[in-house]
Structure 1
């Protein structure tokens, strides 16, 4: 029988008492490990994290907690080879895709360690300057932010088992808030292993970092008013979280990242052989194939001037034609699999829905898989769709296919193109391609109200930009509307979610003692 991964709660490792769920290699179909959370004492787990873990973290300064993050990053760096092997086996990722997840996690931890070190020995944060409440200035008000006295519950998605944990945990732990992570079952192995390595290294205080693998049943019921929940996943589950009594009735703070139909837009004024077209085509193909299109930030819609529709279709197709799909362990394979056969079936169903309203411009399904059985492997080959009637193709703007699928559409003028991008009803990211700084700046400002991030690519940054879909800890990650309305990262802005703000009204002497110069 496959190994059963233990959960870490109440400061110790505990195995579930049920049969559990089997995690499989999505390319070969073989069983890997099992996860199960049956029989865990969840009320005790949450109480232990709040009381024991929270108190220990709050007793430390920001700089001391930053040191914990730096030490954790060191442990993860030492275990990098093992994490790569787990990712290949459980997520079906090629090495470059694993790097996005594993190395991205380590980099994010390191960044927050450096930012936290600069906060020094403080145990709460000032928020603005003191302001007078009385004419003579002897009574003033000053806002401060203090660590929340609760626990942060993370319900994470399957596509980033490493980065998805640490991009949330880094600012939470730096803030002094203990973490309980519930990874998506299909890819929970990597999350569990990373938590295990950090816990067993003795870096974090008992109760500061817990992991529960298996069913999420009952987790939301444990939340109390001072707690927080951060969710990444489907809009359907997000709606259930928002409607849960903990959030709706007890005002538990929630951060949601849900479905996002992101777009790339080429500004007018470029020829078919221009550098702007080349950069767009390369980025669209990359975003369709990195992580097999399983990124919440991936490009799903592409908008170009009508006269360039055919040329751009050919340019993207030429890029996709070079992508070999199959077993990530095989030489020459540039794209691995989806995370499971169930996810493969979901992508095929969504693709069929979109194909009823579009034309197929590039069909990677005609190319054979490399060293993978199509009846077993969850390998979805890239498909570029297109429609010359973007206003009528409502489904393209409403449904996200979470795989290597994108749809190309023409626009009449820039105002029309921007309006089409906004039909995503709120997205995590849009990217703009062109050469005119003023036009690009105006377009970016236009899209800022409906997107969490606007990524502008010009020839001078063609080799150095970080990528449409790459989430960097320096920039905000989140988006309005359909994308969930949440906000993560953005440097030290991420700490806001894990702090409580209060105005302290007192004499200047008291406020000076509260926030020393």
Structure 2
């Protein structure tokens, strides 16, 4: 009988009262564990986090909380091998893809530990300079940011159980706000194990970190006005979060990251075989295959000048043909599985939907699986589609297939390219490829209003850039419009979500005490 993963809630480990949901190996089909949150006293658990965890965290300075994050980093580093085994078994990822999740999460924690150290011995932050309120300078206004006296409910997606946990929890804990983590059920094992290791190490005050596995039913009902909720997932579920009474009636602050039809754009004037052209082809193929395309930031649309359409199709397809797909335990495999049969079916359905308006430039079905049974394994080979009519192919601009699928799209001129990119209705990231610095800068600004991040790749940074889809803690993660309208990370900017801004209007003598 498989193990039932416990929840850590209300300051203690608790098992659900029912059988729960099963977690599977997406390659072998074996049941790995079960998760269940049935029977938890949700109200008591939230109250405990607010009263115990919140009070203890707020009593510490930013520097002291940063030291706790640094200690968490050491615990996670000491258990990396176990995390890699879990990722292989439960997410079906090859080692390099597991590193994006596991080491990416650890790196983000370490970055916020360093940033917190720079904030020193304060328990609140100053926001801007004091402003005179009248003719005389004696009475002024100083804005401050203070930690919210609530709890942060973090609802995460299945594709990054490790990084998704820590990229949210790190700025929350540094801010002095306790967190309740709800990992996606299908891949909850890694998040639960990481949380267990940190909790058992005794680094954080009791109530600072809770983890609830299984169904999310009832969690939103417990949110109170000074709580916050950060959600990553589908637009459909995001709409349910936004419409919940906690948000509409109790004004709970919410951050949403949802669907995103991200773009890669080769600027005009770049010939086939140029450095910029080759960088686009390389990055497009990489983004299609890392994590089997299960990244919210993955490239979904690839825009090239009409004259380069055929050559771009061949350049990208040539790279995809070299990708070995199958069991990540085999060292020859470069791309593992989708996380579940449900996800595999969703990708197949999405691919069929897109194929009604596109042609197949590279067929993922041509990839024979290595050490995997196609009847059991949740594997899909990378598929490159193309459309000759970019304006009429509305499905390409509206549909995100969350797997190893992208579409090549030709454009007539620079204005047409920008219009097509914007048909994504707001995305997490667009990447630009070219050699004209002025044109790249102008295009980046032109697309900045509809993208949370614009990643510019020119030949001089071809070997240095961090990657179209890699989310770095120093930069903003989020996007407007259909991408959810949220903002995460971005260095210390992330702390704002977990603080409340207030204006202190007082004499300069009183305000002087705020600066000490």
> TM-score, normalized by length of structure 1?
0.99
Q: How many residues align?
A: 516
Measure the CA separation in 2 of the matches of 1:196 and 1:463.
Answer: 38
1:131, CA displacement in angstroms? 1.2
Partner of 2:39: 39
Partner of 1:337: 337
Measure the CA separation in 2 of the matches of 1:351 and 1:451.
Answer: 25
1:134, CA displacement in angstroms? 2.1
1:366, CA displacement in angstroms? 1.2
Partner of 1:350: 350
Q: Does 1:501 align with 2:505?
A: no
1:503, CA displacement in angstroms? 0.1
Matches within 5 A, 1:31-430: 31-430=31-430
1:271, CA displacement in angstroms? 1.2
1:202, CA displacement in angstroms? 0.2
1:176, CA displacement in angstroms? 0.1
Partner of 1:477: 477
> TM-score, normalized by length of structure 2?
1.00
Which consecutive segments of 4 or more residues in structure 1 shift more than 2 A? none
Deviations, residues 278-304 of structure 1 (Å, cap 9, x unaligned): 000000000000000000000000000
1:367, CA displacement in angstroms? 2.1
1:515, CA displacement in angstroms? 1.9
Measure the CA separation in 2 of the matches of 1:25 and 1:59.
Answer: 43
Measure the CA separation in 2 of the matches of 1:130 and 1:360.
Answer: 60
Q: Aligned with 1:142: secondary structure?
A: strand
Deviations, residues 205-260 of structure 1 (Å, cap 9, x unaligned): 00000000000000000000000000000000000000000001111000000000
**Further displaced range: 362-371 or 439-448:** 362-371
Measure the CA separation in 2 of the matches of 1:18 and 1:347.
Answer: 31
Measure the CA separation in 1 of the matches of 2:273 and 2:451.
Answer: 29
Measure the CA separation in 2 of the matches of 1:396 and 1:502.
Answer: 45
Measure the CA separation in 2 of the matches of 1:447 and 1:134.
Answer: 41
1:11, CA displacement in angstroms? 0.7
Measure the CA separation in 2 of the matches of 1:410 and 1:416.
Answer: 10
Measure the CA separation in 1 of the matches of 2:449 and 2:255.
Answer: 19
1:364, CA displacement in angstroms? 2.4
Q: Aligned with 2:103: secondary structure?
A: helix
1:331, CA displacement in angstroms? 2.1
1:138, CA displacement in angstroms? 1.2
Pairwise CA RMSD: 0.5
Measure the CA separation in 2 of the matches of 1:505 and 1:383.
Answer: 60
Q: Aligned with 2:106: secondary structure?
A: helix
Q: Aligned with 2:65: secondary structure?
A: helix
1:460, CA displacement in angstroms? 0.7
Q: Aligned with 1:478: secondary structure?
A: strand
Measure the CA separation in 2 of the matches of 1:512 and 1:144.
Answer: 13
Measure the CA separation in 1 of the matches of 2:274 and 2:129.
Answer: 50
